[in-house]
Amino acid sequence: MADIQKILILGGGYGGVWAGKILEKHFRKNPNVQITIVDKKPFHTLMTELHEVAGWRTEPESVQVSFKKIFGAKRIDVVLDEIQTVDFKAKHAVGKARTYDFDYIVVGAGAEPEYFNIPGVKENSFSLWSFDDAMKLRHHVEDIFSRAAEELDPIVRKRMLTFVVAGAGFTGIELIGELLEYRDTMCRKHFISRDETRVINIEALPSILPILEEPLRVKAERYLQKSGCEIMLNASITGAESGKVLLKDGTVVETETFVWTCGVKGSSFAAGLELTKGERGRGRLQVDAEMKSVDYPYAYIVGDNSFFLENGKPVPQIVEGAHQTAEVAAKNIIASIEGASDRHAFKSDFHGFMVSIGGRYGVANAGGMKTQGFMAMAMKHLINMYYLFNIAGINQVWEYVKHEFLDIQNRRSFIGGFATWKVRGYWPLLLRMWLGLVWVMEGVNKIGEGWFAWDAGSKSGWMFSPGVQQAGIKAAEAVSAASATGDWAAAAPDAAATVATTAVAGAAEAVSAASDAAGTAAATVVDTTTRAFAKVWDLTKPIFDPNGGISTWFRKTFMDGIFAYLPYQGFQTMIVVMELAIGLALFGGFFTWWAAVASIGMCLVFTLSGMFAWDQLWFVFAAILMLGGAGRSFGMDYWSVPFFKRWWNGTKFARKWHFYADDPTK
Ligand SMILES: Cc1cc2nc3c(=O)[nH]c(=O)nc-3n(C[C@H](O)[C@H](O)[C@H](O)COP(=O)(O)OP(=O)(O)OC[C@H]3O[C@@H](n4cnc5c(N)ncnc54)[C@H](O)[C@@H]3O)c2cc1C
């Protein structure tokens, strides 16, 4: 047996996950390669959205993507463990739980805040460089507001209601944007006037967001100021004490919430490894262009941990940097294992920056476009969704849509709260049962009409039988008769007359009688104005005309095709059985989602076959409403959905293709 090659990925961040995906895809069918990814958290953290959790815009789950979701049924071991040290010579990594041997290692343990040895800052500030940091800040702000609401000492109260973010890079500005919105919510909740609060951004440089060009910076600054943010530029922080931020010019800002986002360095874990550090690299590890450590040819460093000068400039600690360094590392490991001579060298290809300032506004310089407001936010969301689709499929994109738009509170989205309001399951209950009942009646009626009396053939060429939708039949008959003589315009009023008569009569018998006397009734009921309109245009004709182009094409292409393989009797039985099954499922709230989809599908097929009328469209709209879990309120789905979800999420298919509902079970 060939030697097993072991690849150990240390850290499941942007770099580690990306490398894992590439390596797994390549070696999926090679049993001689084992890939293990170790992370101290059971989930991949979406670091770029941490500020949203810290500022209570989204829930904590929105930045946690479980590794089970990402790697599902893939051939890669995901291990929860914290690596303490790595012995590169002996080729093993020592974790809290066990030791991991490797032939190749990819180190991607991320970054930490840099405090530049400024006295008191580390001890007296919050940071935002991990999931735990975001949660700590989130709870602190809520807590301080609730305490401030009852504080009587005006000096203490003022200190409690002052929030300071140091640093105006993208982390600082994104955080302050969230805090401004969070502040408004908290003020309402705790009956505190907004005028009592101060949200301050302190920056040592002469402008905010130095990574962006002038016009965008100005727009961002204006938006912040309009939202009530005090921006202190050219203000260096020289120290911090409990409850105090000290500035170089002697100013002292009193606050109980001081967040430090001014600098970033490689994680102390990585800095503690016995590998060469980059000169002025702040704990980052020196790599060559192949992303190999300069010390060991089998040790690769990716993402925020790696230090590489490209054209004299260090590769920035950003997501694209993590992806691109990971890709180079993964490709070179593949080349080494396969003995290929073509090595890959790092060449950056960055697409720009997108900065959100709260949930409603942002600025971006990405993909060659400088945008702000709606466009910038749309772009940021699209890029996030694209990333999530790449790592965990459509399921994770749907989770994102839920967190960012459908479940968002306090209108903190760039589309406002339009998508947020929810209808409780009991409101559509009667509609669900009625929709189901109509399908059942329809199936039963078809049997009564003689659909199973094969000798007699079908009695109805229309979707719904007389008991359910008499008007449609008569309209169709009139239309089809008229089209046979080529006089659509003359027929339409007749059909309309019958529809009108039906609506008034309301009962099948009455409609039938009206139908017999259609010619006379039409003459009396339909006035000349209606005739004139009908001659001009029937807006529903292109879609609903049974002899129109669309339905003729559909019938010839698909229905005739079906009948070539399926006896007409079989088809009739299938339709009746489906109608009954859809009806019963909707009535009892059992597999409601699937029944609703089938209901919509049937209506679509009937429409395309020219057997549907515009006044039956409510079937489709009602079924759409049922898609949102209507069967779980007073329906069997209350018990069946969790059971089937558990089963489905454990299947290999769901795990392999990321088609699970919620989290994978295995
Ligand atoms: C608030 C914030 C906003 C940001 N916004 C943007 C942005 O808009 N655009 C952008 O491009 N970049 C942004 N960044 C930067 C970006 O998030 C990082 O560059 C990126 O996360 C680096 O990826 P990584 O794989 O190197 O590290 P990370 O993504 O940090 O992953 C490191 C992983 O290693 C694990 N780990 C660490 N130590 C150990 C150990 N000893 N044992 C086991 N596991 C370990 C951690 O749990 C973590 O999962 C932002 C960062 C922050 C904090």
- Tell me the per-residue pLDDT of 104-134, one tens digit each, with 9 for 90 and over: 999 999 999 999 999 999 999 999 999 999 9
In this prediction, residue 49 carries a pLDDT of: 97
> Residue 518: is its pLDDT beyond 70?
no
SS3 of 407-455: CCCCCCCCCCCCCCCCCCCCCCHHHHHHHHHHHHHHHHHHHHHCCCCHH
Atom 12 of ligand 1: nearest residue by CA position: 318
In this prediction, residue 572 carries a pLDDT of: 83
In this prediction, residue 536 carries a pLDDT of: 61
Query: Which of the four pLDDT bands, split at 50, 70 and 90, describes residue 520?
Result: low
Question: What percent of the chain stands above pLDDT 70?
Answer: 87
> Residue 357: is its pLDDT beyond 70?
yes
Between 533 and 101, name the one with better pLDDT: 101
b (16+ CB within 10 A) / e for 284-304: bbbbeebbbbeebeebbbbbb
> Residue 400: is its pLDDT beyond 90?
yes
Q: What is the mean pLDDT of the chain?
A: 88
In this prediction, residue 245 carries a pLDDT of: 98
> Residue 525: is its pLDDT beyond 60?
no
- Smallest CA-to-CA distance from 664 within 14, 78, 12, 70 is with 70
Q: Three-state SS for 47?
A: helix
Query: Which of the four pLDDT bands, split at 50, 70 and 90, describes residue 559?
Result: confident
Least confident of 164-168, 441-445, 591-595: 441-445
Query: Which of the four pLDDT bands, split at 50, 70 and 90, describes residue 479?
Result: very low
In this prediction, residue 652 carries a pLDDT of: 86
Q: What dihedral angle (degrees, nearest 10) is formed by the CA atoms of 283, 289, 293, 296?
A: -170
* CA–centroid distance, residue 300 to ligand 1 (Å): 17
What is the residue-wise DSSP string for 591-622? Answer: SHHHHHHHHHHHHHHHHHTT---GGGTHHHHH
> Residue 482: is its pLDDT beyond 50?
no
> Residue 26: is its pLDDT beyond 60?
yes
From residue 328, how far is each of 121, 278, 564, 610 by CA, in Å? 37, 19, 55, 57
In this prediction, residue 660 carries a pLDDT of: 83
> Residue 478: is its pLDDT beyond 80?
no
> Residue 60: is its pLDDT beyond 60?
yes
* CA–centroid distance, residue 14 to ligand 1 (Å): 6
- Mutate which of 44, 48, 173, 305 to test ligand 1's pocket (most atoms within 8 Å of Cβ)? 48
> Residue 457: is its pLDDT beyond 60?
no
- Mutate which of 47, 65, 126 to test ligand 1's pocket (most atoms within 8 Å of Cβ)? 47
Mean pLDDT, range 272-286, rounded to an integer: 89
C-alpha span between 491 and 529 (Å, rounded): 15
> Residue 55: is its pLDDT beyond 50?
yes
Query: Which of the four pLDDT bands, split at 50, 70 and 90, describes residue 546?
Result: confident
> pLDDT (tens digit, 9 = 90+) per residue, 462-472?
555 554 443 33
> Residue 154: is its pLDDT beyond 70?
yes
Mean pLDDT, range 416-437, rounded to an integer: 92
* CA–centroid distance, residue 528 to ligand 1 (Å): 73
No. of H helices and E strands in the chain? 25, 26
- Smallest CA-to-CA distance from 295 within 276, 311, 321, 278 is with 276
- Give the number of the atom of ligand 1 that is nearest the alpha carbon of residue 318: 19
Atom 35 of ligand 1: nearest residue by CA position: 11
Own/partner pairs, 88-92, CB within 8 angstroms, 24+ separation: 88/273, 88/274, 88/275, 88/293, 88/295, 88/296, 88/299, 91/298
The answer to whether the pTM exceeds 0.75 is yes
In this prediction, residue 153 carries a pLDDT of: 97
Strand-pair partners of 100: 93
Query: Which of the four pLDDT bands, split at 50, 70 and 90, describes residue 365?
Result: very high
- Who lines ligand 1 at CB under 6 A? 11-16, 38-41, 45, 47-48, 50-51, 82-83, 108-111, 128-129, 170-171, 267, 269, 303-305, 317-320, 322
Between 451 and 193, name the one with better pLDDT: 193
- Give the number of the atom of ligand 1 that is nearest the alpha carbon of residue 47: 17
In this prediction, residue 531 carries a pLDDT of: 65
- Mutate which of 41, 265, 318, 348 to test ligand 1's pocket (most atoms within 8 Å of Cβ)? 318
In this prediction, residue 554 carries a pLDDT of: 85
Query: Which of the four pLDDT bands, split at 50, 70 and 90, describes residue 378?
Result: very high
> Residue 418: is its pLDDT beyond 80?
yes
Least confident of 34-48, 105-119, 445-459, 611-625: 445-459
* CA–centroid distance, residue 13 to ligand 1 (Å): 6
Mean pLDDT, range 234-252, rounded to an integer: 97
C-alpha span between 304 and 322 (Å, rounded): 7
In this prediction, residue 503 carries a pLDDT of: 41
> pLDDT (tens digit, 9 = 90+) per residue, 617-665?
899 999 999 998 999 999 999 999 999 999 998 888 888 888 888 778 7
Query: Which residue in the block uniquely carries the two structure tokens 């999420």?
Result: 649
In this prediction, residue 498 carries a pLDDT of: 44
From residue 316, how far is each of 9, 110, 129, 325, 352 by CA, in Å? 21, 13, 16, 11, 12
* CA–centroid distance, residue 64 to ligand 1 (Å): 12
> Residue 592: is its pLDDT beyond 60?
yes
